[in-house]
Amino acid sequence: MKRFFKGILHLLLFLSVLLMALVFFCAWKPEAAEKIAQILYEDDGILVDIASPEPGSGTTGPQENGGPAASGQETQQEGTGETQAVSGETDGEMQAEDGDGEEVPATYIPPEKSAISVPEEVAGKSGYQEIEAKDSEIEEEEAQTLIESLEPGETGDGLSFDPLFYPYYNMLDETGQHIYRQIYANAQALNPAFSPVVPIRARQLRDVISAVYNDHPELFWLDTMYSCKRLGNGQCLEIDLQFNRTAENLERENTAFENAAEAILTGARGFSSDYDKERFVHDSLLRDVDYVKSAEMNQSAYSALVNGRTVCAGYARAFQYLMQQLGIPCYYCTGYAGEDHAWNIIKLEEEYYNVDATWDDTGEGTYDYFNKTDQDYADTHVRQELSVNLPPCNGEKYRTAGTSGEAAGRRSSADAGFTEDEILRSLTDYYNECFDEILTRGAGNYEFSKVLEGQALYREWEVAYDTETYRDEYLIEAMRSVGAKSCHLSLIIEELQQDRYLITHELQLH
């Protein structure tokens, strides 16, 4: 037994000496170390060397998001001897701070109205109408008649409204919520006149009517005007809702409304991420709707989806309705943007963003006002009335990079030489295209470019390169197919118009 353990000890000592000799040999002859690394390297000896472009080479990316192309920090990539840019931020940090390290406000802080300046290309593209009340004071005799004859109609008892999708309901006190439920139920039943189910004063009623209207774009037959008969002390005794012409044959009009919405929703459901669904809806509205100041029923989602002619209120309410149908929280936001104006606030994952489809419907369509923060909107939009209570918009993950001026200075995908059929909209398509390029061109030194559409896809692409999963997805197999043993890959990113990204691949395959 002693001889056995003595033999094991001698073997370990021999291996230690051999390992030390190998270390000294590699230090003396570095080229030998590289050969050994190639032999020991996984994937049948294929050595993949990835390098980012040098600083100042023209690489660009969504600067606000602190992604690899935007960060000034660098880290050594293990095993390559090259440097690769990485982000120095975490999701948690972005929730607490903005890109300059300043604290993000927990509530909306409205900018000064006097500081609002409307860009020339969107000047006049508004048209929002505030909820208008027609109050009339009645005498005791008429009041007594109303009390005896007028019924509350539908009380709305038993209805509930999820605060994630119906935030205005949850801005009201208990009395306001009870009247809200009653108004909603009577609007559904096309019952225009009813007595309040609980006592409420006329001055409180306007906020309740606004809350119902703002939360429910599906009530497209509900007008922005209502009446209230009240006593001298302000107590409301009769609520009169106003309906537009669609209420005359609501079943037919509702079918037309739902069919028009479904034409967009069917396409949106084909995408897996909420961001891509949002983009599809946004683009569909820009394609199908025209801004027309004199459009019929232009405060309704119906005017946008069915008639295809509307103003800001119609764009915003149609966008809100479609997002709600996709299960994505989206709110109708009203305020001032040179004139009374309406736009949207959308929740993607745990972050909120501003979206103004009306202002994006300029020229061939832009993303200048798509998924922006409150800071981005500070010189063009200010919320008013109940909308100041909506969540602040500080989202970064899906924030559209750049400002209007920067976007205008970018190239289009057509300028870069790409047709619409060549735009890539999934990571799988990107991998397949890259594989085919290498297979076609073979070994050697060359470059090729691809265009990705959408910030969500661009983020996926970033993660694939940060985690090196792209190697197994296309590069290693492509190298084997062309007989290459080593690869040096540089990537140059250029941000284009319409939230597209030109990726140039510089390859040295040998």
pLDDT digits (tens, 9 = 90+) for 382-406: 999 999 999 999 998 888 764 444 4
Same domain as 183, residue 72: no
pLDDT band at 63 (very low <50, low <70, confident <90, very high): very low
pLDDT recorded at residue 326: 97
Mean pLDDT for all residues in the chain: 83
pLDDT band at 413 (very low <50, low <70, confident <90, very high): confident
Q: Among 351, 378, 400, where does a domain finish?
A: 400
> Across residues 422-446, what is the average pLDDT?
94
Would 108 be classed as within a structural domain?
no
Does residue 29 surpass a pLDDT of 60?
A: no
**333: closest CA among 116, 105, 128?**
128
Q: Among 188, 219, 243, where does a domain finish?
A: 243
pLDDT band at 449 (very low <50, low <70, confident <90, very high): very high
Q: Which residue has the higher pLDDT, 315 or 67?
A: 315
> Across residues 175-201, what is the average pLDDT?
96
Does residue 412 surpass a pLDDT of 90?
A: no
pLDDT recorded at residue 259: 97
Same domain as 458, residue 392: no
Same domain as 281, residue 143: no
pLDDT recorded at residue 20: 64
Same domain as 142, residue 59: no
Would 45 be classed as within a structural domain?
yes
> Across residues 60-77, what is the average pLDDT?
33
Does residue 42 surpass a pLDDT of 80?
A: no
Same domain as 440, residue 498: yes
Same domain as 238, residue 257: no
Q: Among 400, 426, 457, where does a domain finish?
A: 400
Same domain as 418, residue 503: yes
Supply the CATH number for residue 318's domain: 3.10.620.30
Residue 303's domain comprises 249-400
Would 120 be classed as within a structural domain?
no
State percent of the chain over pLDDT 70: 78
Q: Which residue has the higher pLDDT, 486 or 358?
A: 358
Q: How far apart (Å, rounded) are the C-alpha atoms in residues 394 and 374?
A: 7
Q: Which two tokens stand for residue 113?
A: 């109205």
Same domain as 394, residue 329: yes
pLDDT recorded at residue 103: 58
Would 100 be classed as within a structural domain?
no
pTM here is 0.65
Would 98 be classed as within a structural domain?
no
Q: Are 341 and 350 in contact (CB under 8 A)?
A: no
pLDDT recorded at residue 91: 33
- For the chain, the residue count is 510
Strand-pair category, 290-291 with 351-355: unpaired
pLDDT recorded at residue 4: 54
* Rg value, the chain, Cα: 31
pLDDT recorded at residue 411: 82
**What are the angstrom distances between the C-alpha of 19 and each of 6, 14, 26, 38, 205?**
20, 9, 11, 18, 85
Strands (E), 292-417: 309-310, 330-336, 340-348, 351-355, 370-372, 382-383
The dihedrals phi and psi of 111, each to the nearest 5 degrees, come to -70, 170
pLDDT band at 140 (very low <50, low <70, confident <90, very high): confident
> Across residues 198-222, what is the average pLDDT?
96
Would 119 be classed as within a structural domain?
no
Same domain as 155, residue 70: no
Same domain as 264, residue 368: yes
Would 96 be classed as within a structural domain?
no
Q: Which residue has the higher pLDDT, 106 or 209?
A: 209
Same domain as 438, residue 336: no
Would 114 be classed as within a structural domain?
no
Among the ranges given (35-44, 358-367, 472-481), the one the predictor scored with the smallest mean pLDDT? 35-44
Same domain as 281, residue 230: no
Does residue 119 surpass a pLDDT of 60?
A: yes
| Concatenated DSSP letters of 153-209 | ----TT----TTT-TTGGGS-HHHHHHHHHHHHHHHTT--EE--SS--BHHHHHHHH
Per the structure, how many domains does the chain have? 4
